Amino acid sequence: MTTKLVSTEPATGATLWSGTISDIDAEIARARAAWPAWAAQPLSYRIETMRRFGNMVRSKNDKLADLIARETGKPIWEALTEVDAVIGKVEISISAYSERTGQKRLEGAMGDRSAVRHKPHGVMAVLGPYNFPAHLPNGHIVPALIAGNAVVFKPSEKTPAVGELLVELYHSAGVPDDLVRCIIGGPEQGRALTAHEDVNGILFTGSAQTGIAINTQFAARPDKILALEMGGNNPIVVWDTADVHTAAIMVVQSAFMSAGQRCTAAKRLIVKDSLYDAVVGEVKKIADRLIVGEPHSQPTPFMGPVIDNQAADGLTESFLILMSNGGKPIKHMVRPIDGRPFVTPAIIDVTSMPERPDIELFGPILQVIRVGTFEEAIAEANNTRFGLSASLIGGSPQHYDQFWANIRAGIINWNKPTNGASSSAPFGGVGISGNHRPSAYYAADYCAYPVASSEAEQARASIGIGLKDVDVSAMGD
């Protein structure tokens, strides 16, 4: 049995970190024991602790960003934006908790009152992804702690170093060591964590396959809260626009930011027939200029490698499968460095493919589909089991109204990329992109449950109907 986990830098192959596989039972027991004292603390205390955490992250900004960049391969400029998001999540979560789970009291006659307050669930398991190893799990952990929960956090086995540092920063800010635990391990530890009887909720970000398995696992357990965010096969539609260059920039940003490893990344470009040559030509021209390189390399890269060679191999194989089944390559995917998971952005026209695979190709592959009418564009955009993000570039206000009304997605944008969603709004999807428990601003909803109370300081009761008359003669002297 493996007792160690090792993390390597995608860009160089160098060993970055190693750690011991966690004892799941022991870690959950520690969190369970620490939870009551934390839940009993005033909300103001928990909020101030989270603010200290934000300041602690700010003081370690460069260290955390460097570790994110090295362990994921993303450019340092992008890693710095992720750290900013970690810090910003604190105040957003405080506001969201106040707005989404605020207390309510109604006073009645004779001192009676009704109240609505919220209680934490208990021990929450957070399973984080590798593409945003600090920001995305932090988006669950901070709201969960504000609500009064304990957290057992399993980072992706591909980014454990960032997960470990993130937990150290919580502890350094005054969060009790036992209250937030870092679970080191792979899929086996993940399954043991979600199956554990002492876990009250699972907050998951990752693949649809794993999320569906978790959902199935708890079909007979409605007592356990599940929040599942499972990616997308996201469309970006380009319609009537005179500014082809700007449209193409937004397509490139949507498809190739983070090497296409964003759950909101555009996977399908749907373009009006009459605009096809101009738009696709401009997208290719910009994509040809994108610099792919190591996190700290110069000139500054637009994107780094994908997470590992297994992912890179899967993407190159997927591109070949699309070609062999009727796809027409516009820009080939290339592996520029032998033995390392760098891949160049790829573009392929799949309009003539009889069956297009409805899967999330988690990398820089953009599939292009040309259509004749706006109704066809909407139908093609909805031709997926997923439903996370969708964007319309160009078109009139009437087009956008029609687009918004008919697209099935949790994030619908106009003249904006598909990615880069605001943490001040709910973040989640429909179909197999989620289970209708959006995160970001709405994370407070699944971190606490509402309790309704009817209250009076003195007991008063009477029964005024439906009683037999009292037999006075039988009562005796």
Would you state the structure tokens that stand for residue 115, as one six-digit string? Answer: 């109240």
263 annotated active-site: yes
- Indicate whether 166 belongs to any domain: yes
Examine the domain organization and report whether 226 and 238 are in the same domain: no
Mean pLDDT, rounded, for 86-90: 98
Q: Does residue 165 lie within any of the structural domains?
A: yes
Average pLDDT, the chain: 96
Of 9, 27, 157, 263, the active-site residue reads: 263
Per-residue pLDDT tens for 296-311? 999 999 999 999 999 9
Q: 75 is in which domain, residue-wise?
A: 4-230+434-455
pLDDT bracket for residue 475 (50, 70, 90): low
CATH assignment of the domain containing 415: 3.40.309.10
Structure tokens at 414: 């106009």
pLDDT tens per residue across span 127-144: 999 999 999 999 999 999
Is the pLDDT reported for residue 476 higher than 80? Answer: no
Share of the chain above pLDDT 90, in %: 92
Per-residue pLDDT at 116 exceeds 60: yes
Mean pLDDT, to the nearest integer, of 367-396?
98
Task: Give domain status of residue 470, yes or no.
Answer: no
My answer on whether 278 and 169 are in the same domain is: no
Residue 364 burial (CB count, 10 A): 27
Cα separation, 353 vs 343, in Å, equals: 24
Of the chain, the end-to-end C-alpha distance in Å amounts to: 83
Q: What band does 471 get if pLDDT is binned at 50, 70 and 90?
A: confident
Q: What is the mean pLDDT of residues 77-84?
A: 98
Task: Please check whether residues 122 and 77 belong to one and the same domain.
Answer: yes
- Per the domain annotation, does 471 fall within a domain? no
What's the rounded Cα separation, in Å, for the pair 76 and 82? Answer: 10
For 190-245, write each residue's pLDDT tens digit.
999 999 999 999 999 999 999 999 999 999 999 999 999 999 999 999 999 999 99
- Does residue 260 lie in a domain region? yes
Quote the pTM value.
0.95
Question: Which member of 229, 282, 294, 380 is catalytic?
Answer: 229
**Is 355 marked active-site?**
no
Q: What are the angstrom distances between the C-alpha of 434 and each of 133, 197, 204, 431, 442?
A: 19, 23, 10, 7, 14
88 and 146 inside one domain: yes
Q: What is the pLDDT of residue 108?
A: 77
pLDDT band at 1 (very low <50, low <70, confident <90, very high): low
pLDDT confidence bin for 264, thresholds 50/70/90: very high
- Do 206 and 279 lie in a common domain? no
